[in-house]
Structures are given as structure tokens and as C-alpha cells.
């Protein structure tokens, strides 16, 4: 039987990251797990001996050591391949990570060695395919954002839903998000909070200069197109990463992806309790 293949994606700027990465590397060595890290991660953490340019999609599991940002980077590295991800939390309370560093080897044992039903399960999240003028530029777990290119100005954007014009927005931008992304940028723009167990597409304006300022919660099968309708340029970013500068007339298309993100959970995932803790909500 071939050894389990594990890639570790690690945060670069937390002092404890190298310590915990070394623990994961040692655990892999002891169990005969085929272990590697992205070259840049291994160099930043001074663990170059573990660096490899092998694609993440070759792994049987991705271990993400950091916060939600590192989880997003891990998903992006998979390029749509549905490899399970285990999130080890090095930040504050995160929405995507689950395992704490002091228990991570116990949970890795449960994933690799667990033989009983219920040791772990997959939490499957929808994603969006994001294309500019017909060319795929990324897959969003959280959101795609079309926003103004120049400070001090709004941008004029035409939103179309399933090919039909909805309205023009004079705004700082438009956010097209998944339920997972409803607690990210969309939330700061006063968008709704949607359970990640749902499948839906959210369209949320950013600082609109118009009377209509509400988010739309759309079917997961609908397609949102955003055209730069004015004379000013715009930018498009996917999960916080800049993708392209848009000229007037350019179109960003956001559609439900066939790919999903698959997070390993070792018990009931209490999304609402995480939300409650994040906002410091009392019991009553």
C-alpha cells in the first residue's frame, strides 16, 4: 500500500509556525507519510529540505497551518481538485480552521489511522468560477470583487443575472460571494449572513451611491455578470488576490463551479457557535 501523501501549507509571519511545522514533519516521518511543503513556504520557515514543487493536487490531504487566509491559499493551490483539507488554527477564532495546535497530531492520527465510521467527515463548500471576457481567472471560495480602480471615484457597473440586465450600480464595487464568503468582505458591506450549508450566490454592493443598496440572495444555479459600464477602469480580485485590471466594456462572469472545497471535520461543525463567539454574542 502506498504511503499517504501530505502537503503542509504554512503561514509565514507567525513565530510559532515553524515549531508546529516541524512537529507535523516529525509526525509524518514517524508514520512513513510522504511529506512536502511548497518551496516558498519551506524557505520562509527555514525548512528548505522539505520544499518541493510537486503540485498540491498530488496530495491525499492538505494540512493548512495558519488562519482562514492560509486556508484560502491552500484551496487556491489545489486548482479545483477536491483534495481534503485540515485546518490548524494559529490565529484568532477562524471560520474555516478547526484543529488547535496542541491537539493536531491526535487529529492527524484520526484522519490517517482512524478505522471507525465517524472518525471524520467532509464539510463540502460551493465555489464560484470567475472569468474575465470568457477566460477563467480563478475559483472563489469566498468571493469575487469588482471595485473601483481610482480612489475618490465610484465606478459604474451593470449587473446581469442569467443574461438579463438587472441594474446599473454607481458604487465603490460589487461583491459576488458564496455562503462561505458571506462572513467575509460581503459582511463588512452589510450583506446577509448565510449558513455555509446552503448553496446560494450573494450580490452585494459596496458603498453604493444610489437608493437601492440591498444585497441579493440568488439561486446557486444563476450566473452573475458584471460589466464595466462607465468610462473608468475597475479591478477584479478573487478571494482577496488581484487578478486583472478591467477596461470599460470588460465583463466578469461568476458562475457556480463544478469544483468544491472539502474541509475535514472531526465532529459536528457548529457554525452558529463560531459565529456567536466571533461577535461575542451572549446566551440571552
Q: Is the pLDDT confidence value at 115 over 70?
A: no
> How do residues 88-108 score in pLDDT, each as one tens digit?
999 776 789 889 999 999 999
Together in a domain, 115 and 63: yes
| 92 in any annotated domain | yes
Supply the pLDDT for residue 94: 77
Q: Report the CATH number at residue 171.
A: 2.60.200.30
Establish if 182 belongs to a structural domain: yes
SS3 for 187?
A: helix
9 forms beta bridges with 64
Mind listing the pLDDT tens digit for each residue in 42-80?
A: 999 999 999 999 999 999 999 999 999 999 999 999 999
Q: Is 244 a member of any domain?
A: yes
Options 68, 129, 172, 239, the catalytic residue: 68
Q: Is residue 98 part of a domain?
A: yes
The number of distinct structural domains making up the chain is 2
**Cα–Cα dist 226/38, whole Å:** 34
The answer to whether residue 68 is catalytic is yes
- Residues 110 and 134 both lie in one domain: no
Same-domain pairing of 116 and 41:
yes
Same domain, 78 and 160: no
**Are 114 and 132 in a shared domain?**
no
Give the model's pLDDT for residue 116.
59
- Give a yes or no: residue 284 inside a domain: no
Task: For residue range 201-223, list pLDDT tens digits in order.
Answer: 999 999 999 989 999 999 999 99
Same domain? 43 vs 62: yes
Taking CA 194 as the corner, what is the angle to CA 192 and CA 200, rounded to the nearest 5 degrees?
105
The reply to whether 15 falls in a domain is yes
Residue 236 has pLDDT above 70, yes or no: yes
Q: Using the predicted structure, report yes or no on whether residue 249 has a pLDDT greater than 60.
A: yes
Measured CA to CA in angstroms, residue 142 lies from 37, 99, 109, 222, 280 at distances of 24, 21, 30, 17, 23
Residue 1: pLDDT band (50, 70, 90) is low
Is this model's pTM higher than 0.85 or not? yes
Q: What is the 3-state secondary structure (H, E, C) of 55-69?
A: CHHHCCEEEEEECHH
Q: What is the pLDDT of residue 277?
A: 81
Helix (H) or strand (E) holding 29: helix 17-31
Residue whose C-alpha cell is 466594456: 249
Q: Could you tell me the residue range of the domain that residue 234 belongs to? A: 127-258
The pLDDT, as a whole number, for residue 279 is: 81
Give the mean model confidence (pLDDT) for residues 127-155.
96
Burial label for 149, CB within 10 Å (0-12, 13-18, 19+), is: middle
Q: Is there a single domain that holds both residue 234 and residue 165?
A: yes
| Cα separation, 221 vs 78, whole angstroms | 23
Amino acid at each position: 500500500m502506498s504511503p499517504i501523501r501530505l502537503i503542509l501549507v504554512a503561514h509565514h509571519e507567525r513565530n510559532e509556525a515553524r515549531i508546529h511545522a516541524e512537529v507535523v514533519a516529525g509526525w509524518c516521518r514517524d508514520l512513513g507519510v510522504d511529506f512536502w511543503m511548497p518551496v516558498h513556504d519551506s524557505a520562509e520557515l527555514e525548512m528548505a529540505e522539505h520544499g518541493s514543487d510537486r503540485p498540491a493536487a498530488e496530495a491525499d490531504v492538505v494540512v493548512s497551518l495558519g488562519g482562514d487566509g492560509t486556508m484560502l491559499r491552500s484551496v487556491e493551490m489545489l486548482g479545483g481538485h477536491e483534495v481534503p483539507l485540515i485546518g490548524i488554527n494559529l490565529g484568532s477564532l477562524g471560520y474555516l480552521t478547526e484543529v488547535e495546535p496542541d491537539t493536531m497530531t491526535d487529529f492527524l492520527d484520526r484522519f490517517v489511522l482512524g478505522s471507525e465510521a465517524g472518525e471524520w467527515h467532509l464539510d463540502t463548500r460551493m465555489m464560484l468560477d470567475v472569468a474575465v471576457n470568457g477566460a477563467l481567472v480563478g475559483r472563489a471560495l469566498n468571493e469575487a470583487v469588482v471595485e473601483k480602480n481610482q480612489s475618490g471615484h465610484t465606478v459604474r457597473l451593470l449587473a446581469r443575472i442569467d443574461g438579463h440586465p438587472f441594474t446599473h450600480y454607481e458604487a465603490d464595487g460589487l461583491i459576488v460571494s458564496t455562503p462561505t464568503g458571506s462572513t467575509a468582505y460581503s459582511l463588512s458591506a452589510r450583506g446577509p449572513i448565510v449558513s455555509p450549508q446552503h448553496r446560494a450566490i450573494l450580490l452585494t454592493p459596496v458603498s453604493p451611491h444610489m437608493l437601492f443598496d440591498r444585497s441579493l440572495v440568488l439561486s446557486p444555479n444563476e450566473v452573475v455578470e458584471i460589466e464595466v459600464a462607465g468610462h473608468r477602469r475597475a479591478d477584479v480580485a478573487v478571494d482577496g488576490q488581484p487578478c486583472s485590471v478591467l477596461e470599460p466594456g470588460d465583463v466578469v462572469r461568476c458562475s457556480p463551479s463544478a469544483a468544491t472545497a472539502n474541509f475535514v471535520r472531526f465532529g459536528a461543525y457548529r457554525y452558529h457557535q463560531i459565529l456567536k463567539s466571533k461577535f461575542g454574542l451572549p446566551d440571552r
